[in-house]
Structure 1
Amino acid sequence: MTKASPRERKAYIITGPTSGFGYRTALEVAKHGTVVLVGRDRGKLEEVHKTIERGGGHAVPVVCDVSDLASVRRAAAEITALRLPLAGLVNNAGIGQTRATKNAQGWDTVFATNHLGPFALTEALMPHLPDGANVVFVCSGAEDPERRPAVIAGFRGGRYISAEASARGEWKSGGSTHPGFDSYATSKQCNLATVMAFARATPRLRFNAVEPGFSPGTGLSRDANVLLRLLGKYVLAPLAPFIRYWSTPARSAKVITNVLLNESGGTGVYYDERSRPMLGSTLARDPEFQDRVVAETRALLSTVSA
């Protein structure tokens, strides 16, 4: 049997592929097709690219800072110009911070990275995805104010006022003592709302979400101090497979990959760290809220010139 050339293999786009869930997912997906690696660090992208190529796979690096709308638009144009047989997208790139910061556009960095950038990238690529393609958003149970582990960790669920308010770093009162936690939870609530709204509005594609579980030592903990990062990596991470709601990058990557490659036709499903359907917060499940998030996000992004 003749081996398919890189341009004949199905191509899957993965954001944030240089560490944690994204890195492991890139390696898994590379077993099934070409991986378009979308990340902000050219050097790290090249390392992942070489790792995949050495393993017999094929990858294409595309430099993109998903917190920067101009960078997202350039990346989307570059991806479509590759003229690869695109078959799916994983919006994995994300950050978490304990303190609030701003990006170059003056937007809350976490909200821009986790929601605005992935939203813009998805909308730019949707016309180029074939019918039946899967779009996967990596979400988080931190968006749900009723999810006990998240509450214990200091989260108070999504605090959405509007897309504009979120971009300014403003949240409903009663939130976390860490402003960055409100930003993270709200961005993930918006991710989940977007998945559900897109699933209803665009039935030719399949939109699903994955809660990968808490994984100590991943890139999301980069804002923690050195002691906590070492504790997460060397003490807590080995215990993750045995604790409810926890996981590892390798195991979560298999869940994400299975959802990405699933051809069963399911859409609008939220999967937990063990591939079981789960429910998001009451607000994220409300179609009116879902549509409002999408409409307000589009309106906000339209104010930024191309």
Structure 2
Amino acid sequence: MTTQTRKAWIITGPTSGIGHRTALELARHGTLILVGRSPAKLEDVEKEINARPGGHAVCVVCDFADLASVRRAAEQIAALGLPIAGLLNNAGIMPTAARTTSQGWDLAFTTNHLGPFAFTQALIPHLPEGANIVFTCSAVEDPERKPAVMAGFRGARYLSAEDSLHGRWAPGGSAKPGYDAYATSKQANLATVLAFARETPRLRFNAVEPGFNPGTGLSRDANPLLKLLATYVLSPLAPLMPGGSTPKRAARMIAQVLTDPSGGTGVYHDEKGHPMHGSTQVQDPAFQDRLVTETRTLLKQLS
């Protein structure tokens, strides 16, 4: 098959951790459109995939904390004219402290939710019938999730899209403000999936919880000691823990969900690929619709 007839898959955040592993899994299913912030790292993954028999990948540079960059990336992808079968919104960060963009916006909420939301919304008109859009989510958005609570999370603290943009969260949150931002952004991802699945039945929208994967590089600002602990102590033990996994297992599960031909939509998959429920709040269609409406209004204002 030529690059114009074989299936194409968009993956964001493919240069490290679970994203890199998933890119290698997806490379067996067609052309990859690699979307990330670092041109050098993207080129490394592109070369790795293109060196494989039958492998083909192209790069599109995009900083999800920069909405103008997001719009340009979506336009570039549409201009490629490839038959896109799926999109994996995997790029994300988990700061432990409050961090902001150059505009003063909350970095985690912008990178994890606003950027992918705008990216997906811009690509929807260019996606063929039945294309599968998958968001990498996290169960830390659920305040009833005991392992997450033990790790210091207190669930999503959503007030409004405007409040989230400026790093304002509902009371009773984590001692680490970055955790509130991350949990809220991941709840926003899941709410987006569930709302979009109802709004646009010609496409499929699904979510995945990749499981506890310490040492993947998600928390870039953790102190060196914690990084060493995560990489050399917690990572080997993670598969033995409830909800634990490895990047390789997570990648295999995510690739299976993204390439699944069954036509399922609006499904949240756990680390084993089985259906699971999010928090009570995010399961409410009224909350899903409010969050999506507020996000759209905010993006119009920001643009």
Among 116, 119, 122, the residue aligned to 2:120: 122
- Aligned residue number for residue 189 of structure 1: 187
CA deviations on 1:104-133 (whole Å, 9 max, x unpaired) are 222100000100000000000011111111
Q: Give the TM-score taking structure 1 as reference length.
A: 0.97
Select 2:153's aligned residue among 152, 155, 177.
155
Measure the CA separation in 1 of the matches of 2:293 and 2:219.
31
Report the alpha carbon displacement of residue 304 of structure 1 after superposing the two structures with TM.
Answer: 2.3
Alpha-carbon RMSD:
0.8
1:256 aligns with 2:254: yes
Alignment of 1:93 onto 2:91: yes
The 5 A counterparts of 1:126-275 are: 126-275=124-273
Find the partner of 1:36 among 33, 36, 49. 33
In structure 2, C-alpha distance between the alignment counterparts of 1:68 and 1:244, rounded to whole Å = 36
Partner of 1:20: 17
Q: Aligned partners of 2:188, 2:228: CA distance in 1, in Å?
A: 31
5 Å-filtered alignment, 1:268-283, equals: 268-283=266-281
| Contact persistence 2:96–2:219 (CA under 8 A) | no
Give, as a single letter, the amino acid of the residue that structure 2 aligns with 1:291: D
Q: Which of 50, 53, 61 lines up with 1:53 in the alignment?
A: 50
Secondary structure of 1:219 counterpart: coil
For 1:33-61, what per-residue CA distance to the aligned partner results, in whole angstroms no more than 9, with x for missing partners?
01100000000000000110111210011
Encode CA deviations 1:38-95: one digit per residue, 9 max, x unaligned: 0000000000001101112100110000111000000000111111111110000000
Matched ranges for 1:96-115 at <5 A? 96-115=94-113
1:10-39 CA distance string (max 9 Å, x none): 110000000111101110000000110000
Deviations 1:246-265 (A, max 9, x none): 11111101111111101111
What amino acid sits opposite 1:285 in the alignment?
Q
In structure 2, C-alpha distance between the alignment counterparts of 1:95 and 1:275, rounded to whole Å? 23
Q: Does 1:80 align with 2:82?
A: no
Secondary structure of residue in 2 paired with 1:104: coil
Separation (CA, whole Å) in 2 of partners of 1:230 and 1:36: 32
**Whole-Å separation in 2 of the counterparts to 1:90 and 1:152:** 29
The question of whether the paired residues in 2 share the 8 Å contact of 1:272 and 1:278 is answered with yes
Q: Post-superposition shift, 1:219? A: 1.6
CA contact (8 A) 1:93 1:114 kept: yes
Unaligned runs of 5+ in 2: none
1:301 is displaced (CA, Å) by: 0.2
The 4+ residue runs of structure 1 with deviation greater than 2 A are none
1:87 match: secondary structure: strand
**Cα deviation, residue 232, structure 1:** 1.2
Q: 2: distance between equivalents of 1:117 and 1:29?
A: 23
User: Structure 1: 5+ residue runs without aligned partners?
Assistant: none
Offset, 1:274: 0.5
On the 8 A contact 2:95/2:178 being kept in 1, the answer is yes
Aligned residue in 2 for 1:66: 64
1:220 is paired with a residue whose SS is coil
Shift of 1:221: 2.5
Q: Which amino acid aligns with 2:204?
A: R
Residue identity matched to 2:223: N
Is residue 2:2 matched to residue 1:5? yes
Contact 1:68/1:105 (<8 A) preserved: no
What SS class does the counterpart of residue 301 from structure 2 fall into?
Answer: coil
Q: Partners of 2:239 and 2:176 in 1: how far apart?
A: 28
Q: For 1:98, what is the secondary structure of its paired residue? A: coil
TM-score scaled by length of structure 2: 0.98
Note the alpha carbon deviations across 1:221-259, whole angstroms, 9 max, x for none.
222111111121122212222221111111101111111
Which AA in structure 2 matches 1:205?
Answer: L
Q: Distance in 2 between matches of 1:231 and 1:283?
A: 33
Which secondary structure state, in structure 2, belongs to the residue aligned with residue 223 of structure 1?
Answer: coil
